[in-house]
Amino acid sequence: MTEHVATNETILVVGGGISGMTAALEAAETGKNVVLVEKNPALGGRTSQLYRYFPKLCHPTCGLEINLRRLKGNPRVRVVTLAEVTGIEGSTGNYTASIKVKPRYVNESCTACGDCGRAVETMVDDPFNYNLGQHKAAFLPNAMAYPQRYVLDPAIIGTADADRAKAACKYGAIDLDMKEETIQVKAGAVVWATGWQPYDAAKIQPYGYGRFKNVITSVEFERLADIHGPTGGKILRPSDGKEAKNIAFIQCAGSRDENHLRHCSRICCMASLKQTHYVREKYPEDGKSTIYYIDIRAIDRFEDFYQKVQADPSVSFIKSKVAKVTEDEHGNPVCHGVDTEGYKRYTTPHDLVVLAVGMEPSVKGINIPGHIVADSSGFIEADPANGAVFGAGCASNALDVNRAVQSATAAALRAIQVVNKVAKAEA
Amino acid sequence: MSANTALAEKYRNNFLKEIEEQVEMGDWVKMCMQCGVCSGSCPTNFQSAWEHPPQELFMMIRAGKREEVLTTTSMWNCTSCYNCIVRCPRKLPITHIMHGIAEYAHRIGKAPKMQATRFFSGLFWKNATKTGRVNELKLSMGLYFKDGFAQGVKNGMAMQSVALGLVKAGRLNVMELFGGHKCKDQKGIQAMLKKAYEIERSRKAAKMAG
Amino acid sequence: MAKHEYAFYPGCSSQKGASASNYLTSVESMCKTLDVKLTEIPDWNCCGASIGYAEAGELPRHVLNARNFALSEQHLPGQEIVATCAACWLGARETRERLTHSDTLMADTREALKEAGLQINEMPNIRHMVEVLIEDLGFDEMKKHVVRPLEGVKIAGYVGCQTNRPFGVSGESFENPQYLDKMVEMVGAESIPEYEQKVTCCGGALAFSEPEKAQAQIKDIVESAYDHGAEMIVTPCPLCQANVEIYQGQINKRYGTKFDIPVMYYSQLMVVAYGGSAKEAALNGQVIRARRLEEIAAKPVKR
Amino acid sequence: MADIKVAAYICKGCGLGERLDADALVKIAQKDGKVPLAKSHEFLCNADGVAMIKNDIANEGVTHIMIGACSRRAKTEAFFFPENAVARANLREGVIWIRPDTDEARETTQEMAEDYIRMGCAEVKAMTAPGGNTNTGTSKTLLVVGGGVTGMTTAIEASKTGYPVVLVEKTGALGGWAAKLYKRVPVHEPFKSPADTGVGDLVAQVLGDSNIKLYLNATVAKTDGAPGRFIVDIATESGATHTEDIGAIVQASGFTLYDMNKLPELGGGKSPNVVDQAGLEALAKAAAAGDGVIRRPSDNQPVKSVVFVQCAGQRDPSGTHLAYCSGVCCNTSIKQAMYFKDANPSVDTTIIYTDLRTPGNGEDFYRSAQEKGVIFTKGKVAQVVPNGATSTVKFHDLILDDTDAAVADVDLVVLATGQVANSGIDIFAAPKTEEEEAAVEVKPISILNLTYRQGKDVPQLKQGFTDSHFICFPYETRRTGIYTAGPVRRPMDIAQAREDATGAALKAIQALENAELGRAAHPRSGDLSFPKVRLEGCTQCKRCTVECPFGAIDEDEKRFPVFNESRCRRCGTCMGACPVRVISFENYSVNTVGAQIKAVDIPDEFSEKPRILILACENDAYPALDMAGMSRNEYSAYVRIIPIRCLGSVNTIWITDALNAGYDGVMLMGCKSGDEYQCHFVKGSELGRVRMSKIDDTLKTLNLESERVRDLEVAITDIERVPEMINKYAAELVAVGPSPFKGF
């Protein structure tokens, strides 16, 4: 929140999701200065787009609220949003990062009063809702957005809409002359917490994502269930807005597949088990879930969550990798395949198919000295060759939130060890 | 001692090893993770079911169910559509494994004798390699008459309309029965194939001995 | 000197009086227009096809294909091998892949080839005719020659299996390849991109040995074409063409349907669109006559 | 109290100026709020507005600031005055955004705003800027309990960061379970073969580190004190006791394998040729020391066929065995099968599983095992029948649906039994009778022997593991400055344990650093306020010592509470519990809230303007109300909302005061309690509810209807539900009629 000057005793944290925020806060609360860089206009990352967590079914925004309060009260963390690290130079204890900062077209004077949003007419896709819905081209990224400041979509810059927004703002918060800039930041150590992205489901051709409207991904399904989502928390199917009560969950959509992602993404089984709760929550009478799986990976303590779901009569399990999805005349996606436990063939129509898409590390394009050592899936490995650049969270492995936070906390200590050495040397 | 009993003896209670060494692409069988996408992708599946779909056959092989696997008609249902291959998350060459197991069962005399596709497959190969090129008429006749003359005529009649259509369209030449297309260097082809069979046999034998 | 030259591997079914002879005829006319020179590989032999597996075994199958490679190398050095038949293309390409990836297999093959006094020094590229059209000529070039667009004709593009899997035409997807639809559009006809049976298997060789199984699948393929209002079906594969066309009568008997839809080769559509005669397009080779195309073919060319 | 000067600032931005009469609000602040300095500003959060406030602090001697503008959750950078006591009256999200902009609504909206100004002024006057706890220790030493991979890693990482470590190991050697392993599961590309455990290297690092003081054959006899000033007695074999000053503690006491003798149906204890995974590791080590051939225990014959039984005594819903999955056994069995295959490919190795669980790149390890010829069979093992030197494994083959499948002539059977946490005494378990005590073969032995009022060890979450209940905060133990790491927290393998140990080291370091500065630990990290108690008023009722969710309060011999501020998380549960109200925080006390309640102007019973008090949890309910405002979800103008740290901090006096003052109803909004509780102070909301359940008696004595108090569970996402609840309740109260206490 402050503008302290970055030095070799500063820790640079790349990525403002739960892993990055954790690494930044844990380091700051141990007395270190941190620069936290986030490419989106607001912090929170992927978890802030989830409706509930497994296994507690609590809301990610609850933890986000706590982390944001920690952040608001801590002068040691400097947050830079709409920013991407384009390169890092130097070596352990002495790095300089080039950071490209996109224009927000809104300055600190913004009070989030919303006048600009009401003034503009242009609607643009809402990435926070995976483009399932649209929002005004002058918008607050989401209800929990920090910084709590509006953003102007570049699409309207130079149009009458931009002028309307500017005119509507009583506080001179809109600055249409903002330009993209590149800033240099010094740091002794770097925590790389760029998280993950959902595997491109369109590449899994037999499942017809992109061809059939009623085939969606697990991350999109989270938005449908969320009160802040495009349907206001109702599970409606995209094709016709009809209530989707009979829902298929297809596991390993991309994961454990040599044609796509070679690794197991760890979270997808639990995510689908969790999402069957959404179906029951919204349609207690006649909600129905079917999980098509290879192995249910409800690891360690999560096993009892799995057992609870198994006991639920509205949920059925079929041990089968679905062969293909077709669409019937009513626009229902139809799953075709073979239940391998005793060889039973099925051709089952559902209201909606949810693909439990795999985790792909968003480490690509990272440009640092001696190039980062990663495994065959692109996850950053713990390797001396990486110097003082430490992978954290899902940039380092396919992890659930709990493990990602552990990993981020560990990464924070590794970074602190480096800057402490620098401090000793400089003292 | 027949080929079969010899092999059964050699690979006692390790059918998987037998398949790995004696069947084309057989060493892929162990890589299956039983997801079942092959079974679900097989076109014939949605018509009349196989007795055992590929992924189940693989499990049976690991479980050492030699008799059931070698005598089933299942592999013979393969239409070589390659759906299973392109979808298999473990990249198993399933189509070829199916053909391989079929070929092996046929080779050691385990395959169901009168299974139509087994019969046709053999017929096709002989037909093609005899002159180097396929003679479609003889091929079909051969198939129709596999169950004896009377049945042959019956099958022939059933197919008559089809055949006539082709004849009219100039796509079936009755004269093919006498001669028809052939390669010039048939001798060379025969010699070449003979050699190929020799080499292949010796290689499999070597594996069995090794 | 032609624009493009290839060693040609027509395959058994394309021979005179064989089930795909009409394919060959139309391909020849098409290539004339496009200035593509195909030189038949002297004394080529059968590819063994996938169905030969019971007797073939591995090595003999590859040796059979390798013989064609050797002949091509000997008589048409430096030329890529082009096949029009899906099975020939696939068989040859499989052999190519296997031999390149296994030195033992390569050595054994060479040894066997000696018996026929042949040898391979380098692996030829194996191309399907549609690959040549799309990659070497391109849609623009193909479109240039259209003088008689097949306006208003609705055609279902049936790709089938073996030109599509496991290799396929590069840039296309296994589940929903687009190139046939593009070709249909290219000749001025109306395509049906959402035709969901476009890659369903026609039953292949089972059509002979176990007709009831194959015909059940052919039924789906034809039915869906009708559902989408198609007047005809187009395909790049001789076995697909034969299976889908010639059994419609039997299917009608078996299922009480009234199928009577022509099944064409892309090459036939192109020849007609290029101003060729019904004879040049081998429309007389249809078991189910393509009346609509015959009418168009009878029309004078607007130049 | 030092002389204070209060200033009130009313913002007119964001439509406040248009929707409200700002001048009237300024007057209210002066008249009712009795603040000497009250100003309004067009745009308070901009540079000019903030400069004005800073100037008043500098030149007008303003110490206490009341800001009437947006929610306390907004514009925190602008309104950041760490040196001063600050109160925020929420006029934007809390008033104009939840009210319709109509003429008829104008009056009630203005009244709402005026009350919030009165409340803000009253609150800030009752506050002092917190100075921080002074009863702090200065020890920077970490105590690590357990010398396995987790403990050693914690010690090494802490030392690397520059902190001295005392490492206590109960056995005579470092290494723990990992030292018993032949090899470990790989953690680097390519994930194809078992790797070296690396334990030797860790041991060498610990022994070579002068910064790490090692006690072998030693246990923790007594842990006293608080973060920064723990005093720990370490008992050694020799009988001698050493006392160490400790800043923070990491408990890495590891796990024990589930006893396979409890699995006779799987051959456990029935034959020497049926072993658990530890047994197999021992055989593999012996083999490696010899000719590399793993031999059958019974007769030393080479093992030609081995079967691995997964989930042995695990994932058992019946409750007989472990209900959970240990998460690591699949990879372990794969690794152990490779011991055989790598040495001799002709050994038959079969792994019988129901769900194979190899997350992440474990998938590569799985594939590699298949390449090496390990057979994977999906099935449920029914029975292992030893006969002579070999065994028959009978199972249900789930793929072939063969209920009497079997593998015969098996030389060795390996049971993948699970991890059981060494977590000491379960302080929540019902006290056992003598017989029961006797019945338990192994009495749980305390690990830490805490002198805490609330028990000797760290509370367990479930199934004996001391894991955190919070998904976002895996290191939240309920004993401040004491963290657990490794398999005692959750079943885990070496790789996870090392990561966990590193994280725990950071948390421990952070805890002792903040303890020295007198700051709170998570979730109110950095909070300088801490509970102060007027002992002279204390009745020794022990409620505070019993209820503190973090065991921060002990009792002295006279049964007076002894506060250990450095253990305190500042939730205020003690303050809520205290019947005589002697516990308070500088900036959050019975007064700061009580004064707000009293400050509200209560219209008489004829006005038909009921007043409803809402006490809302600041972490979930209050943000939900804010976001309801942001999405313009309207709710009744009759409510007055006060954010509270936790439902647990609600003192019943607030309720009775409110009702006495003539409020018509009180709504309490707190987090989910119970097993899946979402209260970030663990027991806060639960204890608060227990307290409120007794409120009915109070109501009876006042002879008021029970409807007058409503306890609600509110989640942060309830941005539509909360307004509905409020409006519904407001309507109900109209039916109940006005409070008889109005106008007294």
Question: For D595-610, what is each residue's pLDDT tens digit?
Answer: 999 999 999 988 889 9
Q: Domain boundary residue among B62, B90, B112?
A: B112
Contact flag for D and C (3+ C-beta pairs < 8 Å): no
Q: Per the domain annotation, does C140 fall within a domain? A: no
Q: For domain D142-254+422-516, give the fold.
A: FAD/NAD(P)-binding domain (3.50.50)
Q: What does the pLDDT average to over D7-33? A: 97
Higher pLDDT, A211 or B45: A211
> Given this model, what pLDDT does residue A367 score?
58
> Given this model, what pLDDT does residue C87 score?
95
Q: Do C237 and C280 sit in the same domain of this protein?
A: yes
| Closest-CA distance of chain B to residue C294, Å | 15
Q: Do C117 and C11 sit in the same domain of this protein?
A: yes
Higher pLDDT, D428 or D289: D289
Between the CA atoms of D517, D520, D521 and D523, what dihedral angle is there, to the nearest 10 degrees?
-150
Yes or no, beta carbons of B40 and A258 under 8 Å apart: no
> Given this model, what pLDDT does residue C238 score?
95
Q: Do C167 and C120 sit in the same domain of this protein?
A: no
Q: Do C23 and C101 sit in the same domain of this protein?
A: yes
CB-nearest partner of B90 from A206, A258, A336: A258
Residues of A in contact with C175 (CB under 8 A): 205-206, 208, 324
Yes or no, beta carbons of B40 and A294 under 8 Å apart: no
Please name each of the domains of chain A with its CATH number: 11-102+180-195+362-426 (3.50.50.60), 115-168 (no CATH), 199-359 (3.50.50.60)
Alpha carbons B187 and C45: distance in angstroms, whole number = 13
Alpha carbons D449 and A203: distance in angstroms, whole number = 57
Which segments of chain D belong to CATH 3.40.50?
A: 1-129, 602-744
Q: Residue by residue, what is the 3-state secondary structure of A26-72?
A: HHHCCCCCEEEECCCCCCCCHHHHCCCCCCCCCCHHHHHHHHHHHHH
Residues of C in contact with A205 (CB under 8 A): 173-176
Q: Do B144 and B160 sit in the same domain of this protein?
A: yes
Q: Per the domain annotation, does B146 fall within a domain? A: yes
Alpha carbons A225 and A242: distance in angstroms, whole number = 14
Q: Which domain holds residue B76?
A: 3-112
Residues of D in contact with A69 (CB under 8 A): 619
| Closest-CA distance of chain B to residue C228, Å | 22
> Does the bond joining A55 to the residue before it have cis omega, within 30 degrees of 0?
yes
Please give the residue of chain B at the shortest CA–CA distance from A339.
B36
- Which CATH number is C52's domain given? 1.20.1050.140
| Closest-CA distance of chain A to residue C194, Å | 9
| DSSP string over A230-293 | TTTT--B-TTT--B--EEEEEEEESTT-TTS--SB-SSHHHHHHHHHHHHHHH-TTT-EEEEEE
Q: Per the domain annotation, does B207 fall within a domain? A: no
Alpha helices in D493-589 (DSSP H): 494-516, 543-547, 573-577
Angle, vertex CA C119, rays to CA C116 and CA C124, nearest 5: 125
Q: Do C290 and C155 sit in the same domain of this protein?
A: yes
Q: Do B127 and B88 sit in the same domain of this protein?
A: no
A211 shares contact with chain C (CB less than 8 Å): yes
| Closest-CA distance of chain B to residue D409, Å | 11
Q: Per the domain annotation, does B209 fall within a domain? A: no
Interface probe, candidates B32, B35, B56, B88, chain A, greatest A C-beta count within 10 A: B35
B10 shares contact with chain D (CB less than 8 Å): no
Q: Per the domain annotation, does C136 fall within a domain? A: no
- pLDDT per position as a tens digit, A154-190: 999 999 999 999 999 999 999 999 999 999 999 999 9
Please give the residue of chain D at the shortest CA–CA distance from B31.
D370
Alpha carbons A317 and A309: distance in angstroms, whole number = 10
* CATH number listed for the domain at residues D602-744: 3.40.50
Q: Domain boundary residue among B47, B77, B112?
A: B112
Q: Domain boundary residue among C129, C158, C193?
A: C129
Residue D11 has phi, psi (to 5 degrees) of -90, 140
Residue A310: closest CA among A342, A340, A272, A341: A272
Please give the residue of chain D at the shortest CA–CA distance from B52.
D400
Q: Domain boundary residue among B97, B112, B127?
A: B112
In the complex, which subunits touch B with 3 or more CB pairs below 8 angstroms?
A: A, C, D
Residues of B in contact with A336 (CB under 8 A): 40, 46
Residue A244: closest CA among A207, A288, A293: A288
Residue A252: closest CA among A301, A288, A199, A298: A199
Alpha carbons D329 and D337: distance in angstroms, whole number = 12
Decide if D642 contacts D666 (C-beta within 8 A): no
Residues of C in contact with A336 (CB under 8 A): none
Q: Do B18 and B96 sit in the same domain of this protein?
A: yes
Q: Domain boundary residue among C74, C94, C129?
A: C129
C175 shares contact with chain A (CB less than 8 Å): yes
CB-nearest partner of A300 from D191, D491, D678: D491
Decide if D95 contacts D640 (C-beta within 8 A): no
Yes or no, beta carbons of B34 and D373 under 8 Å apart: no
When pLDDT is cut at 50, 70 and 90, the band that residue D442 belongs to is low
Q: Domain boundary residue among C99, C129, C159?
A: C129
Query: Where does residue A81 rank: exposed (0-12), middle (13-18), buried (19+ CB within 10 A)?
Result: buried
| Closest-CA distance of chain A to residue B26, Å | 19
Q: Which residues share a beta bridge with A390?
A: A191
Alpha helices in C76-174 (DSSP H): 86-101, 103-114, 129-131, 139-144
Alpha carbons D18 and D96: distance in angstroms, whole number = 10
CB-nearest partner of B193 from C16, C17, C60: C60
pLDDT(D356) > 80: yes
Yes or no, beta carbons of D500 and A406 under 8 Å apart: yes
CB-nearest partner of A337 from B33, B40, B49: B40
Q: Do B108 and B28 sit in the same domain of this protein?
A: yes
Collect the ranges in chain C with pLDDT lower than 50: none
**Cα B113 to the center of its chain, rounded Å:** 12
Q: Do C18 and C121 sit in the same domain of this protein?
A: yes
- CB-based contacts of D28, cutoff 8 Å, min separation 6: D114, D117, D118
- Which CATH number is B25's domain given? 1.10.1060
Q: Do B80 and B142 sit in the same domain of this protein?
A: no
Yes or no, beta carbons of A206 and C173 under 8 Å apart: no
- CB-based contacts of D690, cutoff 8 Å, min separation 6: none
Beta-strand relationship, D402-410 and D390-397 = antiparallel
| Closest-CA distance of chain B to residue D360, Å | 16
Q: Do C62 and C153 sit in the same domain of this protein?
A: no
| Closest-CA distance of chain B to residue D305, Å | 12
Q: Per the domain annotation, does C135 fall within a domain? A: no
B21 shares contact with chain A (CB less than 8 Å): no
Domain range D258-418, its CATH number among 3.50.50.60, 3.40.190.10, 3.30.499.10, 3.40.50.12780: 3.50.50.60
CB-nearest partner of B30 from D370, D400, D402: D370
Q: For domain D532-577, give the fold.
A: Alpha-Beta Plaits (3.30.70)
Yes or no, beta carbons of A303 and D324 under 8 Å apart: yes
Q: Per the domain annotation, does B153 fall within a domain? A: yes
Residues of A in contact with C220 (CB under 8 A): none
- pLDDT per position as a tens digit, D75-124: 999 999 999 999 999 999 999 999 999 999 999 999 999 999 999 999 99
Q: Which residues share a beta bridge with D479?
A: none
What string of pLDDT tens digits covers the 427 residues of chain A?
A: 455 678 999 999 999 999 999 999 999 999 999 999 999 999 999 999 999 999 999 999 999 999 999 999 999 999 999 999 999 999 999 999 999 999 999 999 999 999 999 999 999 999 999 999 999 999 999 999 999 999 999 999 999 999 999 999 999 999 999 999 999 999 999 999 999 999 999 999 999 999 999 999 999 999 999 999 999 999 999 999 999 999 999 999 999 999 999 999 999 999 999 999 999 999 999 999 999 999 999 999 899 999 999 999 999 999 999 999 999 999 999 999 999 998 899 999 999 999 999 999 987 656 555 578 999 999 999 999 999 999 999 999 999 999 999 999 999 999 999 999 999 998 7
Q: Per the domain annotation, does C67 fall within a domain? A: yes
How many domains does chain B fold into? 2
Grouping H, G, I as helix, E, B as strand and the rest as coil, residue D456 is coil
> Given this model, what pLDDT does residue A1 score?
45
Interface probe, candidates A200, A204, A205, chain C, greatest C C-beta count within 10 A: A205
Q: Do C121 and C194 sit in the same domain of this protein?
A: no
Interface probe, candidates A252, A256, A345, A347, chain B, greatest B C-beta count within 10 A: A345
pTM: 0.96
Q: Per the domain annotation, does B171 fall within a domain? A: yes
In the complex, which subunits touch C with 3 or more CB pairs below 8 angstroms?
A: A, B
- CB-based contacts of A409, cutoff 8 Å, min separation 6: A22, A23, A26, D474, D475, D502, D503, D506, D507
Q: Do B7 and B83 sit in the same domain of this protein?
A: yes
Q: Do B88 and B165 sit in the same domain of this protein?
A: no
How many domains does chain C fold into? 2
Yes or no, beta carbons of D375 and B16 under 8 Å apart: yes
Q: Do B7 and B106 sit in the same domain of this protein?
A: yes
Q: Do C54 and C105 sit in the same domain of this protein?
A: yes
> Given this model, what pLDDT does residue A364 score?
62
> Given this model, what pLDDT does residue D439 score?
60
Which segments of chain D belong to CATH 3.50.50.60?
A: 142-254+422-516, 258-418
Q: Do B16 and B93 sit in the same domain of this protein?
A: yes
Residues of B in contact with C208 (CB under 8 A): 120, 139-140, 143
Contact flag for D and A (3+ C-beta pairs < 8 Å): yes
- Which CATH number is C161's domain given? 3.40.50.11810
User: What distances in angstroms separate CA A183 from CA A87, B193, C25, C96, one per listed residue?
Assistant: 11, 72, 68, 54
Q: Do C114 and C182 sit in the same domain of this protein?
A: no
- pLDDT per position as a tens digit, D158-168: 999 999 999 99
Q: Which domain holds residue C260?
A: 147-298
Yes or no, beta carbons of A343 and B45 under 8 Å apart: no
